[in-house]
Amino acid sequence: MKKTLILLICSVSALISFAQTSDWNNGGGNPARNGLANVDGPQKDSLLWQASPAGIFGMPMFIEGNKLVTMRFRSATNAPIVCYDLTTGELLWQKEITGSTGRSLPIGFRNNQVYAVRFTESLHDTLYAFNADDGSRLWTSETTVDPSITASATFASNGDFFIESYFKMNRINHLTGELIWNTPIMPFVLGHVELSVYNNTGYVLEQVSGGYAYVAAIDLANGHKKYSHIINDTHPGGGLPQCPLMVGTDGTIYVQKQGDNITALTDDGSQLNLLWETEIFGNSPFSQMCIGSDGSVFAPSAGTIIKIDPLNGHIINTSEVISTHPDLFQLRLSATQNDIVFATNGESTVYAFSLDLHELWSDNVPDLNTSGAAIGSNGLIAVSGAHTVKVYTSAEFTAISEVINNQWIEYYPNPVIDKLYLHFSNANLISYNYNIYDQTGKVVLSGNLSDEINMIDLSNVSVGIYFLVVGDNVKQTFKVIKN
């Protein structure tokens, strides 16, 4: 006999809070590219929504406010930009900007403008800005650019951004697309020189004659190179550096020389100084390091994540191996203030770890490729993969065991803003009708719960107190608060 679903809606943290400003508007989440966001991230596998757009693999994601932007790579000549509502999963707009001759590559998102490249690998691709509200074009730059498909812009304090062109680094006026300055650079691989910003200085990793890597400090006001420092080879003849460096919250510069070492440098205003070097193993192309909430450095080595003491370079902890191809480990790391480190392995899994690299939760996202866990200012975590976009919430969950045929249910959030979600452990055992009543006894919504994850859309319901009645023969009534 069908049992009645007893649904106890508890008061939990509101889902949306824009008190923070840690949007993921470039690779690494902030101008320093250090991956640390001052928000709380989800402590468990708490899927908020999932979409199934066509796409062969995941790509980097960009967030500002309540909008999520990424590319959906369907083929080399069919890869549009898509923009989603971050909290509901609604597709707001999509745009193909190449005339089916290449890929539409978003490179940054800030001040309600999406910056994108007509990516045809011509070495001189066109740069655009689009209105994030509707995808309409704001300007086309006369300066052509040459980023790689994994690269992203980073930003000055006034919103101007920095992006590579053919053997040059450019500062672009964000309002007009005009070139403010450029300076010569020498990449190891074209398109893979990504600037990282700290105060009024930018840092890039270049090469000098003989194939040596060095970090150059650039004055952001005029593009002049101030000074530089060579990065030592621990394993000569290793992989070509293709990973952006990052800057810690205290200004320490961290360089990942792939399969070779992690180097820490300080900048005293007149020169760069070596702080320490730590040996790593296994090539990790397109990887991104991060800083944890305790200031520690998290980086790839031999298919694992290592935690490094920022003062001396000592390895404090090491995760289990999370890659089936340690010599091609596309680890992308990010972190939140509630002591969580998020990682994607470039294959098929997104992870959440504690600061000591104990796994908290993980989820399958097929063919993540270079999609890291992007963090919104509301604490939502977004990842993408093959035919998949997933967003996880930091709102707390309440679970009830043995409610229906010994299965549990999770439901969230309450108070609710627009979408109320009900998550069952076994979708095959679900079939329950529900009605939602206002305080006058009028039915405002009704429907059936029959999926593993059920969404009740309350966006057209006025703010107030409602009563959710679940079941058929025997009914149970529970309070729901709509904010």
421 within some domain: yes
CA-CA distance, 77 to 83, in Å (whole number)?
19
**CATH number of the domain bearing residue 409:** 2.60.40.3080
Q: Is residue 97 part of a domain?
A: no
Q: Is 222 a member of any domain? A: no
User: In the numeric block, which tokens belong to residue 351?
Assistant: 């992870």
Domain membership of residue 469 (yes or no) is yes
Domain count across the chain:
1
Per-residue HEC secondary structure of 316-360 comes to EEECCCCCCCHHHCCCEEEEECCCEEEEECCCCEEEEEECCCCEE
Please check whether residue 470 lies inside any domain of the structure. Answer: yes
459 within some domain: yes
Q: What is the pTM of this model?
A: 0.81
In a domain, 418, yes or no: yes
- From first to last of its 483 residues, the chain has per-residue pLDDT tens of 333 333 333 333 333 322 334 689 999 999 999 999 999 999 988 888 899 999 999 999 999 988 999 999 999 999 999 999 998 888 999 999 999 999 999 999 999 999 999 999 999 999 999 999 999 999 999 999 999 999 999 999 999 999 999 999 999 999 999 999 999 999 988 889 999 999 999 999 999 877 789 999 999 999 999 999 999 988 887 777 889 999 999 999 999 999 899 999 999 999 999 999 999 999 899 999 999 999 999 999 999 999 999 999 999 999 999 999 888 899 999 999 999 999 999 999 999 999 999 999 999 999 999 999 999 987 899 999 999 999 998 765 443 333 444 556 666 676 677 778 777 666 566 677 888 998 888 999 999 888 777 788 988 998 888 888 776 765 656 677 777
92, 394, 432 from 386: Cα distances, Å: 20, 24, 32
* Residue 348 covered by a domain: no
Angstrom distance (rounded) from CA 477 to CA 468 = 6
Domain that holds residue 432: 404-482
